[in-house]
């Protein structure tokens, strides 16, 4: 398939847009009138989209429609009438969806353009890393609603910035601006406009796409899986993934290209 052709699956979904250009998937949450709040349909659309993602997609960006919000959280109106058993299912659907980003064998960047609150912040943390525009605002305000984060926030924020800082943000529910988010290590880099943000995310993915895709998939898997194990187990995971790559054509191509003083031509095999 020609990856330079722009493909558009927008009409298939009610609440998201999905376009592919130059091998990069751009998944946009598209409920701007509700600041892209996450209801069940948004999750179902994302699950459907990610499950059908094709091999020609080598990197993914998730962002929000409009200038104001990435995602302003779980849909509070939808939650207002939920029973406990419905809440179990809603949270589980959020967990399933966020885990799909981790399980994709390609780099996923959250391009946060405005409010990333509650479930929006949680969705961003499920990406491999976060780039943000200068107007981005992060927060887990769930305790203000008598709730706790339900789409992975208690787990991912503590892993990302440590339990103490995570607790301070969750207990107070306070918002943080992009500078504080960069200082805390939540955001890798900030940009002065939404256009610059998306261009930078695309440029980073294009740079990664020049490298061995099997190596990227293996490094993502080892880093993700190692965050929950001790260092001995983590090193063992690394040892296995490192040595497995010696059985791939791409690894032979990569090292031979270096020795031949030429660019590598990776094929994903």
- Per CB under 6 A, residues contacting ligand CAA are 34-35, 37, 72-77, 94, 115, 117-119, 122, 141-142, 145, 147, 149-151, 153
Among residues 84, 122, 196, 253, the one annotated as catalytic is 122
CA geometry: angle 205, 209, 249, nearest 5 deg: 160
Tell me how far, at minimum, the Cβ of 41 lies from ligand CAA, in Å: 13
Q: 13 or 43: whose CB is closer to ligand CAA?
A: 43
Q: 88 or 229: whose CB is closer to ligand CAA?
A: 88
Q: Is 253 a catalytic residue?
A: no
Q: Is 142 a catalytic residue?
A: yes
Q: 23 or 64: whose CB is closer to ligand CAA?
A: 64
Q: 149 or 212: whose CB is closer to ligand CAA?
A: 149
Tell me how far, at minimum, the Cβ of 62 lies from ligand CAA, in Å: 16
Which residues carry out catalysis? 122, 142
């Amino acid at each position: 398939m020609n990856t330079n052709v722009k493909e558009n699956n927008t009409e298939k979904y009610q609440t998201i847009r999905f376009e592919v250009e130059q091998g990069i998937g751009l998944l946009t949450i598209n409920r701007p009138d509700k600041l892209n709040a996450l209801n069940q349909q948004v999750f179902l659309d994302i699950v459907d989209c990610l499950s059908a993602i094709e091999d020609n997609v080598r990197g993914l960006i998730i962002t929000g429609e409009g200038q104001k919000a990435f995602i302003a959280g779980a849909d509070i109106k939808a939650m207002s009438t939920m029973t406990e058993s419905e809440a179990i299912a809603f949270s589980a659907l959020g967990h399933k969806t966020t885990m799909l980003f981790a399980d994709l064998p390609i780099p996923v960047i959250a391009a946060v353009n405005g409010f990333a609150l509650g479930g929006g912040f949680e969705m961003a943390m499920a990406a491999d890393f976060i780039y943000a525009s200068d107007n981005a605002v992060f927060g887990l305000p769930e305790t203000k609603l008598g709730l706790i984060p339900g789409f992975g926030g208690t787990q991912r924020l503590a892993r990302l910035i440590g339990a103490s800082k995570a607790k301070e943000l969750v207990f107070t529910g306070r918002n943080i601006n992009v500078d504080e988010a960069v200082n805390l290590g939540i955001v890798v880099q900030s940009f002065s406009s939404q256009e610059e943000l998306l261009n930078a995310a695309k440029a980073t993915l294009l740079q990664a796409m020049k490298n061995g895709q099997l190596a990227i998939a293996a490094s993502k898997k080892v880093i993700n899986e190692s965050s929950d194990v001790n260092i001995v187990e983590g090193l063992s995971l690394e040892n296995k993934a490192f040595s497995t790559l010696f059985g791939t054509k791409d690894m032979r191509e990569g090292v031979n290209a270096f020795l031949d003083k030429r660019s590598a031509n990776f094929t994903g095999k």
